[in-house]
A and B are shown apart, each in its own frame.
Chain A
Amino acid sequence: MNDAPAPDLIDAYLDELQGRLRGTPGDIRRSVVECESHLRDRTAGFLADGIEAETAARQAIAAFGPPETVAAELNRAHRPRAVRMLIAGLAGQAAHLVAVGLLAIGASGIVAWLLTELLGSRTVFADAPGTSYGAAACAHYLAVHPNARTCAQAALAEGRDDSLFQRAAAGVLGVLLIAGLWWWRRRASRRPLGEPPALSLAAALVGVAMFGAVGVVLTGYGVDRAVVNTGSGQWLSAGAVAIIVALGYASVGWRRLLSI
């Protein structure tokens, strides 16, 4: 004898309906709750008329319409909001990639500064041997760095300061952008907007490809500069940070893949 309870027809109907629904998590949840409430009310109405339970559920479902028809109409009604969600999600992920890129540049500035402190400016920022500087450029470098004894020393100091300042500025911009995104996402999460997991996965893959490629190119260029006795630390610092960020994105992507 089979003692398993009979499957609830309305639950089975709602499962099929939910499987066919597209849109924001909020729209889907709301639709299922409304449909269930309606079907249970309708079934209760039939039961009150003296109709047997299973027949009452079947009649309620028949009056409601096939799940594919109802789902198609609900999806059509929710499509504009779903499209808005997708566009907002794409913009958010793009802004996040830019912010991470700016933060990575800032981090490479810290690494470059540490290398400068440990190994000296020449190892990190020196121009290629034999580089010549114009008179006007030399005058400018020496005016900005009056303690430099030669034009080459002044040019090295100028290159180092400019590079560290620009990387620090990028890092500050990255922090501001990340803060802005955090505020925007907190605000958005109060509304029924979600983000498709596939979109997060795609963004992580883009991050791996983008930062990985940049990391390999910069590291390769840094090694090449080291071979010709030119300041390679500025390139190697940026390449190392880019590769670390790519590995971070790979880890995020893997977790997203497992959660889908």
Chain B
Amino acid sequence: MATRGTGRGPAEQLKGHLDLLLLSVLTAGPAHGYEIIGALRDRSDGVFDLPEGTVYPALHRLEAAGLLSSAWSEDGGRRRRVYRLTSSGAGALRAERRAWRSFSTGIGAVIAGIA
């Protein structure tokens, strides 16, 4: 029998977990969008190389939900919106991490048996 993939690349798989990843990146401290995307790419060794423009809507959504706050900063003549984790965001991140660990442990146990 031929082996077929799911057809979903890393970027597509990443979408469902983007909030968790963005909140995680911001635990290191406040950062603007470009830095956040760079950190995401670097920390994943280039695996999470999603369309960069789709990160900003996610940041705006997280801010509207109260999980992030943001403010303008001027740097090298360019205005940048700097995001930081709120206390609600830190709480949501802890809950998301617990859920992810439980999920990945379950998945790992299943696929380990198949491999």
Contacts and interface: CB of A to CB of B under 8 A. Distances in A.
Interface stretch (B2-10, B73-81, B90-98, B102-110): B73-81
A31 B81 CA distance: 10
Contacts, number: 63
B81 A70 contact: no
A40 interface: yes
A37 B51 contact: no
Nearest to B56: A34
Contacts of A37: 32-34, 78-80
Interface string B25-58: 0000000111001000000000000011110111
Interface size class, chain B: 10 to 19
Contacts of A185: none
A51 B64 CA distance: 38
B34 A42 contact: yes
B5 to A, nearest CB: 23
Could you say which interface size class chain A belongs to?
20 to 34
Contacts of B57: 70, 73-74, 76-77
Contacts of A42: 34, 52
Given A70-B54, A73-B54, A33 B61 contact: no
B80 A65 contact: no
A218 to B, nearest CB: 48
Contacts of A64: 51-53
Contacts of B81: 30, 33-34
Contacts of A77: 57-58, 60-61, 64
A78 interface: yes
Contact of B33 (A27, A38, A66): A38
Interface of B: 32-34, 37, 51-54, 56-58, 60-61, 64, 78-81
Given A65-B52, A74-B60, A80-B64, 11 more contacts: A27-B60, A31-B60, A34-B33, A37-B78, A37-B80, A41-B78, A42-B52, A64-B51, A66-B51, A73-B58, A74-B56
Kindly list the 9 A-B residue pairs having the minimum CB-CB distance in the complex, ordered from nearest.
A65-B51, A70-B53, A73-B57, A65-B53, A77-B57, A64-B53, A77-B60, A77-B61, A41-B34
20 contacts: A34-B80, A35-B53, A37-B34, A38-B33, A41-B34, A42-B34, A63-B52, A64-B53, A65-B51, A69-B51, A69-B53, A70-B53, A73-B58, A74-B56, A77-B57, A77-B58, A77-B60, A77-B64, A78-B60, A80-B64
